[in-house]
Amino acid sequence: MALNIAAVGALCLCVIVSLFAITSAGDPSKFFDWKVTYGDISPLGVRQQGILINGQFPGPDINTITNENLIINVFNGLDEPFLLSWSGVQQRRNSYQDGVFGTTCPIPPGKNFTYKIQVKDQIGSFFYFPSLAFHRAAGAFGGIRVLSQPLIPVPFPKPADDYTVLIGDWYKTNHKDLRNQLDSGKILSFPDGILINGRGPNGTSFNVVKGKTYRLRISNVGLQNSLNFRIQNHKLTLVEVEGKHTIQTTYTSLDLHVGQSYSVLVTADQPDKDYYIVVSSRFTSQVLTTTGILHYSNSKSPVSGPPPAGPTTDINFSLEQARSIRINLTASGPRPNPQGTYHYGLINVTRTIILSNSQGIVNGKQRYAINGVSYVAPDTPLKLADHFKIEGVYRNGSIQDKPTSGPIHLDTSVTQSDFKAFLEIVFQNYENTIQSYHLDGYSFYVVGMDGGQWTPDSRKHYNLHDAIARCTIQVYPKSWTAVYFAPDNVGMWNLRSEFWARQYLGQQFYLRVYATSSVSKYEYPIPKNVLLCGKATGRSLGNVTTA
């Protein structure tokens, strides 16, 4: 079956000049009307309740161009509150639109909320997902592709076609039952399978013509498993990672940790037939595998032979591959200047934050923590507490800059940073399981990664030249990963585990980035259509100035 990637038909999509507050005058806008509903799906051969967007599972792709304004009206047809978030789409100066509960009130059942976001400074592949209540286990995710302005070149010839490939582990269990498992204090069970674009084994096929080259935008939208992606007899040339063009390196298989997105080029350079696309779980004793089909237009024979085997528990392979992923300094970024014009390696670090994940039992229930604090969401989004100056919602310093000893405790963990700082974050993983971390609002430079314990001496081996900048990074078992970034995007930003049960049970916190001078200059005003909840209920917006 041919996959119709341009899901545009299902969207109300019209380009007009924007009239909305946050949008920049002159930049075009795209409008989307999305209805979120339950619907029957059976990706693994068993009928279950999925969450659909405009009747689709996965949801429709968002195709956009840098600087474009996206006006996405989301109507919640579920029986529970709902939020969409935009993984990796940076929401410059606009964390109100981030769609996580620390910044945005949930959309009540039967109500709608219109997100207004502008995509800037990033060309590449991302995805959206439902951020609340374990909805991600039921769907409502989809691809986002940000194209460059027509006159700004990308460092490879235009591919013959461009395919979104959403891969992820999957449960046959209803998301409410999975959530109940976690709420009752249990750990998340092992998944039942792996999906490619919402379908199980042999369910998805991608059409190619011999001799042509295709772009595959692959995102791991699953709940917990690192996945390996490969195509029988074909090579994968990595060209882009979460909005940055990479040194073009060719791999036989690629590891994607939860929440990560990669673009690869694949040339149909083999005899006309069908080939297996294989996705399998990494670092698990039981290996889950699924297949899709790469279908040559003149193919006369179906897939044959054993699907190619991939790496399983080997960490070195993955670590070496991660280190080989570097930014192409001379490729152009979103503007005509090359990606390498920002010399992150020459900036002095003003603060080092060392974050260590842990797990334990609190009040008889399973919890996960960062630096000993397991995040508990308050009834009021932190960002709204800030805006309305509501006391008692969170405290600065409720999470320390260094790992602490002692048992895990519950708190609404927030740390703050001046927007003029330059931060080093070291993710130190003392646990024996792989971690995947995502920071909203930013790309960070992945300067180092190694086994064992990080020490200041580890800095001697940092890549201060051409490290990749991205927004989601893995930390291997009993290993560390270090990142650098300038917290120049004012707002309230979620740093979280992408292992969704860990995120749900507390392995996350917020980074509040503030400007000491007049805030309005660095941040968009609160949106006129903001939803209010918790202690912000009934507050008056006063005079909202329009940008």
Ligand X SMILES: *[C@@H]1O[C@H](CO)[C@@H](O)[C@H](O)[C@H]1NC(C)=O
The footprint of ligand X (CB under 6 A) covers 73, 112-114, 155, 201-202, 247-248, 291, 302-303, 316, 328, 330-331, 346-348, 396-397, 401, 415-416, 529, 531, 542-543
Q: How many other C-beta atoms can be found within 10 angstroms of the C-beta atom of residue 55?
A: 11
E-only strand ranges, 48-108: 48-53, 62-65, 69-76, 84-87
**Token pair recorded at residue 417:** 């940073």
Residue corresponding to tokens 């399981």: 433
Question: Degrees (nearest 5) of the Cα angle 256, 257, 259?
Answer: 105
Question: Degrees (nearest 5) of the Cα angle 271, 274, 278?
Answer: 120
Distances (CA, A) of 113 to 108, 239, 531: 9, 35, 8
Q: Which is nearer to ligand X, 397 or 407 (CB)?
A: 397
Element (H, E) at 475: strand 472-475
Closest approach of ligand X to the CB of residue 500, in Å: 26
Query: What is the DSSP pairing of strand 395-396 with strand 479-485?
Result: unpaired
- CA–CA dist 229, 255 (Å, integer): 6
CB–CB of 327/469 below 8 Å? yes
Q: Which is nearer to ligand X, 332 or 507 (CB)?
A: 332
Closest approach of ligand X to the CB of residue 9, in Å: 21
What order do you get walking across the sheet with 253-256 strand by strand? 205-208, 289-296, 274-281, 227-231, 253-256
Q: Which is nearer to ligand X, 23 or 366 (CB)?
A: 23
Closest approach of ligand X to the CB of residue 55, in Å: 19
Q: Which is nearer to ligand X, 297 or 324 (CB)?
A: 324
Q: Which is nearer to ligand X, 36 or 138 (CB)?
A: 36
Element (H, E) at 383: helix 382-388
Q: Which of 441, 440, 458, 457 is nearest to 449 (CA)?
A: 458
Q: Which is nearer to ligand X, 62 or 531 (CB)?
A: 531
The phi and psi torsions of 382 (rounded to 5 degrees) equal: -55, -40
Closest approach of ligand X to the CB of residue 330, in Å: 5
Closest approach of ligand X to the CB of residue 370, in Å: 14
Q: Which is nearer to ligand X, 180 or 330 (CB)?
A: 330
Q: Which amino acid is at 304?
A: S
Q: Which is nearer to ligand X, 157 or 364 (CB)?
A: 157
Q: Which is nearer to ligand X, 362 or 483 (CB)?
A: 483
DSSP-derived letter for residue 83 is -
Q: Which is nearer to ligand X, 4 or 543 (CB)?
A: 543
Q: What is the 3-state secondary structure (H, E, C) of 164-229?
A: EEEEEEECCCCHHHHHHHHHCCCCCCCCCEEEECCECCCCCEEEECCCCEEEEEEEECCCCCCEEE
- CA–CA dist 249, 238 (Å, integer): 6
DSSP β-bridge partners for residue 275: 294
Q: Which of 462, 445, 476, 470 is nearest to 318 (CA)?
A: 476
Element (H, E) at 275: strand 274-281
CB–CB of 63/103 below 8 Å? no
DSSP β-bridge partners for residue 52: 37
Query: What is the DSSP pairing of strand 508-514 with strand 444-451?
Result: unpaired
Closest approach of ligand X to the CB of residue 519, in Å: 13
Closest approach of ligand X to the CB of residue 3, in Å: 16
Closest approach of ligand X to the CB of residue 239, in Å: 8
Closest approach of ligand X to the CB of residue 363, in Å: 27
Q: Which is nearer to ligand X, 114 or 433 (CB)?
A: 114
- CA–CA dist 29, 422 (Å, integer): 33
Q: Which is nearer to ligand X, 396 or 455 (CB)?
A: 396
Q: Which is nearer to ligand X, 247 or 390 (CB)?
A: 247
- CA–CA dist 378, 375 (Å, integer): 9
Q: Which is nearer to ligand X, 109 or 302 (CB)?
A: 302
Closest approach of ligand X to the CB of residue 70, in Å: 14
**Token pair recorded at residue 545:** 């100035």
Closest approach of ligand X to the CB of residue 254, in Å: 16
Query: What is the DSSP pairing of strand 213-220 with strand 161-170?
Result: parallel
Closest-by-Cβ residue to ligand X is 155
